[in-house]
Amino acid sequence: MAEMIICSSCGGECSEELANCPYCGSTLLAGAEKKYMEQLRDVKDRMEDLDAVPLEETRSAIRKQGKVLKVGIIIGVVVMTLILGAVYLFNRMLYTDEEDYKQQYLWKQEYYPVLEELYGKNDYDGLFRFYEEHMEDPNAQFYTWEHFDFLRAYMTYVDYSEGLKEGRNVGSSASLFAQQWRAKGDLAKPERYTEAEYAALLPMLEILEQDYQTRWNIDPEEEKLLYQELENNDYYFLDFDTCEKYAKKWSKEN
């Protein structure tokens, strides 16, 4: 059974066998390398097939028509060119990844102590601000920080609180719906946090849960189906199109 890994770009959990993250599309090195090797073996098999076919089917024709040999040589050159090109591109990708890993390592060395200091002071707003200031940095490694699940859950609550101030338009309502279901996922997996973290989050998450129950006019059967969808996504989030559909329905009713 394939192991699950965390995407360094978006924090989504996915199979190590995938070449790209199913959530953000970023390259997953282990899966990409496996896919490349499979493609390379496929090219090798095709070359062996090309070697075998002329021997079995065109032996007598070669004596009559010298052009066949020339075609075979051309095909071989083309195939080898493709292989060499693929090797070159893959080596470039590996080199780029190595440079990325180096910069990501340096980012951790510089900023993880800052995150740990803010976390140790229970300065969660400070952590949120730090995240917003550095989230666009391509080398940022928030998703591998050991307390990121806690930070993400806290940011869900803060985003929700801010969203309430934006009014009842469909866009903000869809975001509220998504954030509240994200909170349901956070409540469903307390093992993601330390006991102290979960104790700090629980009152906030319960506020989102209570508001959800009174806001959306969703019948129990619909809620059960939505929760199943959330469970299928490892309790991370609902598809935003789904959230938007319920937000539009709610807007019409209100």
DSSP letters spanning 28-72: -HHHHHHHHHHHHHHHHHHHHHHHHHHHHHSHHHHHH-THHHHHH
The rounded mean pLDDT for the chain is 77
Which residues are 15's β-sheet partners? 4
Q: Residue 234 corresponds to which tokens in the numbers above?
A: 């490892």
Kindly state whether residues 160 and 74 are assigned to the same domain.
Answer: no
pLDDT > 90? residue 125: yes
Q: What is the pLDDT of residues 8-55, one digit of tens each?
A: 666 666 677 777 776 666 676 666 666 655 665 665 566 555 555 555
Q: Does any domain span residue 190?
A: yes
Residue 6 lies in a domain: no
Is 15 a domain residue?
no
Q: Are 160 and 117 contained in the same domain?
A: no
pLDDT digits (tens, 9 = 90+) for 187-217: 889 999 999 999 999 998 888 888 888 888 8
| 207 in a structural domain | yes
| Whether residues 188 and 116 fall in one domain | no
- The confidence score (pLDDT) of residue 99 equals 75
| Closest C-alpha among 158, 160, 202 to residue 177 | 160
Count up the domains in the chain and report the number: 2
Its domain, for residue 113, covers 32-123
Are residues 154 and 118 part of one domain?
A: no
Out of 38-42, 64-68, 108-112, 167-171, give the one with best mean pLDDT: 108-112
Whether residue 53 is contained in a domain is answered as: yes
Q: Tell me: do 116 and 38 sit in the same domain.
A: yes
- pLDDT at 175 exceeding the cut of 80: yes
Q: Is 235 a domain residue? A: yes
Specify the pTM.
Answer: 0.59
Q: Which residues pair with 13 in a beta bridge?
A: 6
